[in-house]
Amino acid sequence: MTDPARRAPSKDARRSLYSGSERRAAAASFARTVAILTALIVAYYLVPLDTRTTLATALLLLCGLLAVAVVFGWEAWLIMNARYPRLKAVEALVATVGLYLVVFASVYHIIEHDTPGSFSEPLTRTDALYFTLTTFTTVGYGDITARSETGRVAVMCQMACGLLLVGVAVRLLAAAVNAGLRRKGREP
């Protein structure tokens, strides 16, 4: 027998658990998340990526990773001060991971543009984004591989940074959510 107190609340009961302001906050958070992703993708396709030196590519990667760290730190601070820290954490994760993926896709596109043949096939911007995502998710279909030393170093950097991003960032975001909830007087 099922204990009536342990049954899941009905749809109407669940709806009444959240106030109108909470539903509006969730909708606004979803809209911001979609806007962030859209802006990152549009910027990726519009920004000129015709750098011709390895030094400039390395500088782009370093500045991009620094930007990811700054965005992450800023987002963690916002989470701790947000009215709805959990919603803000989702936005932060999307912004941080989205920026991270765009940085590496840009680097891969530049590497292939500077040194054709660095990858097993020519990389358009879409191909570079696809390769970045398959590497990040560890799916690695094997249809695109790095052939040049520069390409392999960039891929190894993405792999190491991806592990850090998933491991450290998620843990820090969870801590920021808990701190934000405690600050608001709510249980984490």
Determine the pLDDT at residue 61: 87
Domain residue spans in the chain?
53-183
> What is the DSSP secondary structure assignment for residue 184, as one 8-state letter?
T
- pLDDT at position 17 is 55
Determine the 3-state secondary structure of 181 from DSSP.
Answer: helix
Write the DSSP assignment of 82-114 as a string of letters: -SSHHHHHHHHHHHHHHHHHHHHHHHHHHHHHH
Rounded Cα–Cα distance for residues 81 and 32 (Å): 17
Q: What is the pLDDT of residue 145?
A: 93
* Per-residue model confidence (pLDDT) at position 7: 58
Q: For residue 181, what pLDDT band results from cuts at 50, 70 and 90?
A: confident
Task: Give residue 188's pLDDT.
Answer: 60
- pLDDT of 114 over the 80 cut: yes
pLDDT at site 177:
87
**pLDDT tens digits for 100-111?**
999 999 999 999
Confidence at residue 182, expressed as pLDDT on a 0 to 100 scale? 86
Instruction: Note the pLDDT of residue 18.
Output: 63
- pLDDT value, residue 74: 92
Reported residue count of the chain is 188
| Residue 157: per-residue pLDDT | 92
DSSP per position, 114-176? HSTTSBSS---HHHHHHHHHHHHTT---SSS-B-SHHHHHHHHHHHHHHHHIIIIIHHHHHHH
Encoding tokens for residue 92? 């932060």
CA-CA distance, 36 to 43, in Å (whole number)? 11
Q: What is the reported pLDDT for 45?
A: 96
The Cβ of residue 159 has, within 10 Å, a number of other Cβ atoms equal to 14
User: What does CATH list as the number for 53-183?
Assistant: 1.10.287.70
pLDDT at 147: 94
**Three-point CA angle 101, 102, 104, nearest 5°:** 65
Distance CA 86, CA 81 (A): 11
Per DSSP, the three-state class of 55 is helix
Least Cα distance to 60 among 175, 154, 173, 181 occurs for: 154
* Better pLDDT: 70 or 174: 70
CB–CB of 37/94 below 8 Å?
A: yes
List pLDDT tens digits, range 3-57: 555 555 555 555 555 677 888 989 999 999 999 999 999 999 999 887 677 788 8
Residue 167 predicted with pLDDT over 90: no
